[in-house]
């Protein structure tokens, strides 16, 4: 049997086991809810037309021209005020004109009645501040958690095979490369499927929630690029996760042996969260392979990235991924059969025991 | 005392599987030195040695889990490749399967890793588990099984692909007496179908009862290898036991006799080279009836003690 065929058998088992795994099911459901919440909730909260009671017909006609106002024409100012007091309407316009509301200043009603100076926008792409904050956060969050969860599962699955000692039977049956490739491929596929599902749900959710057309126009390429960056970004670390999994021979050792890889996922997450507003920092982050999966899509969303930039960044990531795959594979092979305690990176790097 | 054998020491036993001049070091420590021995087709070969003598390392090298520094392992004269090894069955000393997978699923999985098609793996797993008495437990997770049944699942994992060579590291350790008999049956059954079977064990009595050939290793070198009975004969001392009706103390004065043990009518003695055992028998008969007289055949334990000394 070829290494490729063996890797496929290994991958099929990993996928079958994970699809029955509660962690996997839970994280998928959680992220889907998260995606729906991020896209739909803001629209729901801001949405819902303001109801306004009016007695004067001319004012009513003027207010009715506003899409987001629901106008109720009443007999008198007193009746209008009573409706506000009863909570049946959000606001009332009485003669004066005077706007009445309970506790919140009804800004949209006031705006509708005011004369506003013309506005000329110089940077039409500028994004709603709420979205400008939530989109990088959501990208960083999804990348961090998915990459971390699935990466950790690669490591755990390797450690489990070491701890239960089945690894020796496996290594005697198929090349270690096939074991590694099968695991990495299976978990990458699952992580990618999860992220792609979230991306699709987000886009559909955004459309259904009636998100602004301009925002959708920005969101689509952002999410498209994010999925591509996620894929390379995950594969980049996958073999390292397997390597640190093999360094530990018990689950208890995994936390300390996987520390360096955990950092490689965690530090960029916080960096992008804290420096999201800083253009220069984000420009730098978008080329560092570990932070690029979050930083570059954010810049694309903000309209700051030139067309060629994501390609260059992806290229850098691909090269890094190739190098780290080799490192991870070597550490994995060097420590897989050392079942006595924790193996050091140096020992694993030096020893290539298997045929 | 150097007893390191080269191939020339047992030219008559050319096995199907041959370990040829294999050496291996871990760092500065030489674990195997020029290890050579055959494993005959259709034979049970017992692999005996103290802890740390190099048994597990040798087996791992046969399976390709470890690489040899020098030397090679051949099957019917051809050096082993990944493809050939894939048809080997292996039970490592440290057992293990996936605790959370069902018995059936993991035996199928291991069958597939050994190159079986999906349907063939399913088919053989069902039959094998049935034969090992695990048919009803096939759908349960391994961790739910009793220890004895887990051991049987482990045997199934080693046999699912109908291996052409079987290598088992301490297959009897931790087995209850019933499981030992099951394992003995399985090994005999495999061997009788022409498969070379190599197994290691600490239980010398069991090895003595079971195996056709013996390989004794100490400090990383082979001290003895070959047919069990031939080895016994080869290591037989000129030692005899005599049982008469009365006290056998007179043996002390018999020329060429060194008395080792005397309990009234029963005596164990060595004969000097060149002395005739029949003369001692005649002398005994002159003094009365002889109930028993014959050479003392060394047990495996004795041979083992002698060759690893």
SS3 content of chain A, % helix, strand, coil (to 5): 70, 5, 25
Of A59-68, B54-63, B166-175, B180-189, the range with the highest mean pLDDT is B54-63
pLDDT greater than 70 at residue B15: no
pLDDT greater than 60 at residue A220: yes
ipTM above 0.90, yes or no: no
Residues 6+ apart with CB under 8 A from A51: A69, A70, A71, A72, A88, A89, A90, A91
Q: Which of A9, A168, A175 sits opposite B92 (nearest CB)?
A: A168
Domains and CATH numbers, chain B: 7-233 (3.40.50.300), 236-308 (3.30.70)
**Tens of pLDDT along B76-90?**
889 998 888 889 999
**Tens of pLDDT along A25-43?**
888 888 888 878 777 776 6
Determine the pLDDT at residue B183: 83
CA distance A183 to A162: 14
The structure tokens listed for B246 are: 């009365």
pLDDT band of A218, cuts 50, 70, 90: confident
For residue A37, report the phi and psi dihedrals to the nearest 5 degrees: -60, -45
pTM of the model: 0.76
Element housing A93 (H / E): strand A91-94
**Tens of pLDDT along B243-294?**
998 888 888 888 888 888 888 889 999 888 888 888 889 988 998 899 999 8
CA distance A73 to A163: 76
DSSP state of A237: H
Interface test with A, best of B62, B96, B120 (most A CBs within 10 A): B96
Query: Domain map of chain A by residue range?
Result: 3-43+128-350, 50-113
| Cβ contacts of B92 on chain A, cutoff 8 Å | 165, 168-169, 172
Range name among A46-55, B23-32, B186-195, B197-206 with the lowest pLDDT average: A46-55
Question: What dihedral angle (degrees, nearest 10) is formed by the CA atoms of A203, A209, A214, A218?
Answer: -20
Query: Is A171's CB within 8 Å of B65's CB?
Result: yes
Residue A346's CB is within 10 A of a number of other CB atoms, namely 9
Question: What dihedral angle (degrees, nearest 10) is formed by the CA atoms of A326, A327, A332, A338?
Answer: 140
State how far the alpha carbon of A70 is from the alpha carbons of A55, A82, A106, A212, in Å.
14, 17, 13, 21
| Cβ contacts of A13 on chain B, cutoff 8 Å | 109
Query: Is A355's CB within 8 Å of B96's CB?
Result: no
Q: Higher-confidence residue: B94 or B49? A: B49
| Cβ contacts of B96 on chain A, cutoff 8 Å | 164-169
Determine the pLDDT at residue B140: 93
pLDDT band of B13, cuts 50, 70, 90: very low
Determine the pLDDT at residue A123: 60
**Tens of pLDDT along A99-146?**
888 877 777 777 777 777 777 766 655 566 777 777 778 888 888 888
Range name among A340-344, B8-12, B127-131, B228-232 with the lowest pLDDT average: B8-12
pLDDT band of B6, cuts 50, 70, 90: very low
Q: Is B95 on the interface with A (CB under 8 A)?
A: yes
């Amino acid at each position: 049997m070829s290494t490729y065929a063996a890797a496929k058998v290994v991958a099929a088992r990993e996928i079958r086991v994970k699809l029955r795994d509660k962690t996997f099911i839970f994280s998928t459901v959680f992220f889907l809810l998260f995606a729906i919440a991020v896209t739909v909730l803001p629209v729901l909260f801001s949405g819902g037309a303001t109801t306004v009671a009016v007695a004067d017909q001319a004012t009513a006609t003027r207010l009715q021209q506003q899409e987001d106002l629901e106008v109720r024409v009443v007999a008198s100012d007193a009746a209008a005020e009573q409706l506000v007091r009863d909570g049946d309407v959000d606001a009332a316009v009485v003669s004066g004109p005077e706007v009445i509301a309970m506790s919140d200043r009804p800004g949209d009603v006031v705006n509708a009645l005011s004369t506003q100076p013309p506005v000329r926008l110089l940077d039409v792409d500028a994004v709603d501040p709420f979205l400008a904050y939530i989109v990088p956060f959501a990208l960083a969050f999804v990348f961090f958690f998915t990459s971390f969860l699935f990466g950790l599962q690669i490591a755990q699955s390797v450690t489990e095979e070491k701890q239960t000692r089945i690894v020796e039977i496996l290594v005697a049956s198929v090349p270690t490369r096939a074991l590694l490739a099968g695991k990495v491929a299976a978990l990458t596929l699952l992580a990618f499927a999860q992220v792609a599902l979230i991306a699709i749900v987000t886009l559909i959710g955004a459309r259904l929630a009636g998100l602004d057309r301009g925002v959708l126009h920005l969101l689509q390429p952002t999410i498209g690029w994010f999925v591509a960056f996620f894929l390379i970004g995950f594969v980049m670390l996958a073999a390292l996760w397997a390597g640190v999994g093999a360094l530990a021979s018990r689950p208890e050792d995994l936390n300390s042996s996987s520390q360096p890889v955990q950092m490689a996922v965690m530090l960029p997450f916080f960096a992008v969260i804290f420096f999201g507003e800083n253009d220069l920092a984000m420009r730098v982050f978008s080329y560092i392979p570990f932070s690029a999966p979050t930083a570059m899509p954010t810049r694309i969303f903000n309209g700051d990235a030139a067309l060629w930039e994501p390609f260059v960044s992806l290229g850098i990531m691909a090269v890094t991924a190739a190098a780290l795959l080799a490192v991870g594979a070597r550490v994995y092979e060097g420590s897989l059969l050392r079942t006595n305690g924790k193996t050091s990176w140096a020992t694993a790097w030096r020893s290539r025991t298997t045929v | 005392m150097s007893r390191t054998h080269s191939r020339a020491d047992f030219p008559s036993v050319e096995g199907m599987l041959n370990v040829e001049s294999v050496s291996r070091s871990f760092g500065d420590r030489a674990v195997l030195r020029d290890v050579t021995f055959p494993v005959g087709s259709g034979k049970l070969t017992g692999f005996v040695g103290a802890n740390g003598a190099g048994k597990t390392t040798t087996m791992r090298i046969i399976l390709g889990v470890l690489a040899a520094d020098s030397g090679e392992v051949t099957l019917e004269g051809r050096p082993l490749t990944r493809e050939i090894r894939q048809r080997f069955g292996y039970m490592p000393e440290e057992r293990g399967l996936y605790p959370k997978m069902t018995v059936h699923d993991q035996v199928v999985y291991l069958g597939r890793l050994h190159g079986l098609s999906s349907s063939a793996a399913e088919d053989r797993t069902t039959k094998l588990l049935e034969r090992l008495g695990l048919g009803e437990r096939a759908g349960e997770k391994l961790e739910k099984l009793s220890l004895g049944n887990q051991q049987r699942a482990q045997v199934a994992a080693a046999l699912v692909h109908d291996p052409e060579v079987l290598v088992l590291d301490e297959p009897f350790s931790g087995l209850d007496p019933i499981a030992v008999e099951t394992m003995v049956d399985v090994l005999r059954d495999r061997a009788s179908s022409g498969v070379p079977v190599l197994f290691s064990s600490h239980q010398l009595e069991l090895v003595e009862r079971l195996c056709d050939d013996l390989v004794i290793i100490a400090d990383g070198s082979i001290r003895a290898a070959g047919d069990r009975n031939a080895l016994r004969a080869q290591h037989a001392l000129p030692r005899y036991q005599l049982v008469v009706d009365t006290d056998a103390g007179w043996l002390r004065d018999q020329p060429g006799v060194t008395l080792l043990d005397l309990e009234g009518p029963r005596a164990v003695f060595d004969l000097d080279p060149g002395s005739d055992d029949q003369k001692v028998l005649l002398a005994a008969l002159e003094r009365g009836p002889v109930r028993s007289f014959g050479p003392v055949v060394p047990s495996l334990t004795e041979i083992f003690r002698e060759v690893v000394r």
